[in-house]
Amino acid sequence: MSAIFSAVFSIARRASVKALAVAATAILTASIGFVAQPAWAQAKTQAKEFRVGWQKGSNLAILKARGNLDKRLTEAGVKVTWTEFSAGPQMLEGLNVGSIDFAAVGETPPVFAQAAGAALVYVANEPPSPGAEKILVQQHSPFKSVAELKGKKIVLNRGSNVHYLLLNALKQAGLTYSDVKVVYLAPPDARVAFESGDVDAWVIWDPFAQAAVGQIGARVLLNGPGVAENYNFYLSSAPYAKNYPEVLRWTLEEIKTTGDWVIGHFDEAAEILAPQINLSKDITREALTHYGYGVTYPLNQKVIDNQQAIADAFYGLKLIPKKLDVKSVVWQP
């Protein structure tokens, strides 16, 4: 250490006290191998609570089970509260009415929520996961193509990510939305209707889709690749994002850590999720492999354009009441 301080005093003879402090910091930093953290990682927060919406079987469910977000935020003096929802549209309604601060949903729910006037912002997105959504028919169904579903009953969860999948699939098959009879049901009720034969096809995402394939022999009529991107998004209420951006950044960092872990531990991740969704470990593991992992923020232009295309398509069908500007609600940290 004597050589270090000799260097400092040598500099001091030619510089001001301020320069001395800078030099001493630089030399000591180099001597102990300290790597400076990003400014936001050093930041404090005035936030006292962070309320997270989650669904069983999701990436946030793994984050919750592993506890790393709770640990990170508790150390910063922030209490984490988890609220379960059955699907994305219901979760964004919770965000809209102020019962949660953060949510993870597919690409379509934010469009409906923005159209309803929800004060939300797109915080980040995961890579596209087109293979995680499907159109299913019964194992012995006569239908071999989407075009053959003209005039038939198709069930889906209104405002969910698969809503846009159906729209694009019909368009590619030369059909319009009005050419089929769409029935809106949440996944559990949709499964009952599908199994009983009350509907001809079910548009659904994993793990529900994979469960139907593995448990009742449902047949995949159409898979997502080439039809819809199927991005998953992380969203926050606009006021929370404005007031506590550091909490969102910390959260995204922990989400990325979780995603990296899942990629190398699909078996362990399936063990966490399988009991939540009452599926076998094998079915759950297969569903997990259909999703993309990672976090990108802010949203890039390609992702924004994809969301804008969805919004424009739904407005054109009068499924939402007004034209939207997606870019205006993208978080800029």
Q: Position of tokens 């390609």?
A: 302
Confidence (pLDDT) at 43? 63
Q: Which two tokens stand for residue 114?
A: 């923005």
Q: Which two tokens stand for residue 265?
A: 């531990």
The answer, yes or no, to whether residue 22 has pLDDT greater than 60, is no
What residue ranges in the chain does DSSP mark as E strands? 49-54, 79-84, 102-106, 120-125, 133-137, 153-156, 181-184, 201-205, 219-223, 232-237
Judge residue 171's burial from the number of C-beta atoms within 10 Å of its C-beta, 0-12 exposed, 13-18 middle, 19 or more buried.
Answer: middle
Query: In whole angstroms, what is the distance from residue 304 CA to residue 299 CA?
Result: 6
The answer, yes or no, to whether residue 6 has pLDDT greater than 60, is no
The answer, yes or no, to whether residue 242 has pLDDT greater than 60, is yes
Contact 120, 92 (CB under 8 A): yes
| Local confidence band at 36 (pLDDT 50, 70, 90 cut-offs) | very low
| pLDDT tens-digit readout, 157-185 | 988 889 999 999 999 999 999 999 999 99
Q: Cα dist. 21→8, 35, 41, 72 in Å?
A: 9, 18, 23, 32
Q: Residues of the chain with pLDDT > 90: what percent?
A: 82
Contact 85, 55 (CB under 8 A): yes
What share of residues in the chain are helix, strand, coil (percent, to 5)?
50, 15, 30
The answer, yes or no, to whether residue 261 has pLDDT greater than 70, is yes
Coil/strand/helix, residue 321: coil
Structural domains present in the chain: 2-36 (no CATH), 47-127+232-329 (3.40.190.10), 130-223 (3.40.190.10)
Query: In whole angstroms, what is the distance from residue 216 CA to residue 221 CA?
Result: 15
| Local confidence band at 1 (pLDDT 50, 70, 90 cut-offs) | very low
Contact 106, 161 (CB under 8 A): yes
Q: What predicted TM-score, i.e. pTM, was given to this entire model?
A: 0.83
Average pLDDT estimate for 120-129 = 97
Average pLDDT estimate for 263-285 = 95
